[in-house]
Structure 1
């Protein structure tokens, strides 16, 4: 009790001193805690933003990859309509096919079907060229659709992941 009385007496005698020193000191402590908290929030937001930027850049690369795959599938399709047109077309056909097969995921369920159609085109005769080309277009659409769906899924997963990180 004696200490409480001493503190009370000191506080009543030195109100001005306590106001001059205590209030600024308390304000400085509160400002420091607020600054530390704001810095942590900003750092977390930067990490999330960098991750999102990285995922979006990866999506841009995937989109370019899908476009290149589409171009090679279109080239393969157009070359399949020119039967027995010489060594240059055969080389271009084989090069387009090689680029396609190196690009696609071997786990893609449509790749064996694509390879089968291409083998049929190589063994074609003039009667069934259009039918084989139609098959190639059909399978190509399936391959492209699957890759596009994979890209969209990755983007959705990224969006969900970063929304939960930001919360």
Structure 2
């Protein structure tokens, strides 16, 4: 059966048109879903960035108040900053993955504990340890935000797999079509039985 006969029949053309329509519909749906997921992830990144910045500022405010002479005003400011820090840290912990971000969650808990210990015993050694924990918190926050931004840029893993599979299918379809076209136009170059 020649390619002209195949394309002139009423069977193959509707099948090819339906297949192309199916590919377009599925691709459009997947792209729309990926864009929506990307919007949600970007919102999540913005929210956690805000929470991390506020938590970091509150931890430094607590440290500042603890290094000043202990007056009633500094104790009051420390308590306000510490409560806000606890709230923000709890929000951050709830937004993180308990398994993947276990190290970061433990660091957050250590920061809260260290600040509480320093409020009870303001020795220089305790304050330095707490400052190191706060600096480590800042560094890990930066790493988390960078990792999540890369994820937003690249897209979700499932989307990447689907896109790569789609590109492979498209390449195979175009190759098959070109081979069929070459066979029909230049039959003398191909073995036919």
Q: Which TM-score band (shorter chain)?
A: 0.5 to 0.7
Aligned to 2:84: 92
Query: Post-superposition shift, 1:154?
Result: 4.5
Q: What's the RMSD between the two structures over aligned residues?
A: 3.0
Query: Post-superposition shift, 1:150?
Result: 4.5
Asked which structure has the greater CA Rg, the reply is 1
Aligned to 1:66: 45
2:98 equivalent among 95, 101, 106: 106
Aligned residues: 142
Aligned to 2:172: none
Pair 1:122–1:146, CA change in 2 (3 A) = farther
Pair 1:124–1:30, CA change in 2 (3 A) = farther
Verify: 1:120 aligned to 2:150, yes or no: no
Q: TM-score, normalised by structure 2?
A: 0.59
For structure 2, list consecutive stretches of 5 or more residues without a partner in the other structure.
Answer: 63-74, 170-193
For structure 1, list consecutive stretches of 5 or more residues without a partner in the other structure.
Answer: 1-25
| CA distance in structure 2 between the partners assigned to 1:79 and 1:44 by the alignment | 52
Aligned to 1:52: 31
Q: TM-score, normalised by structure 1?
A: 0.67
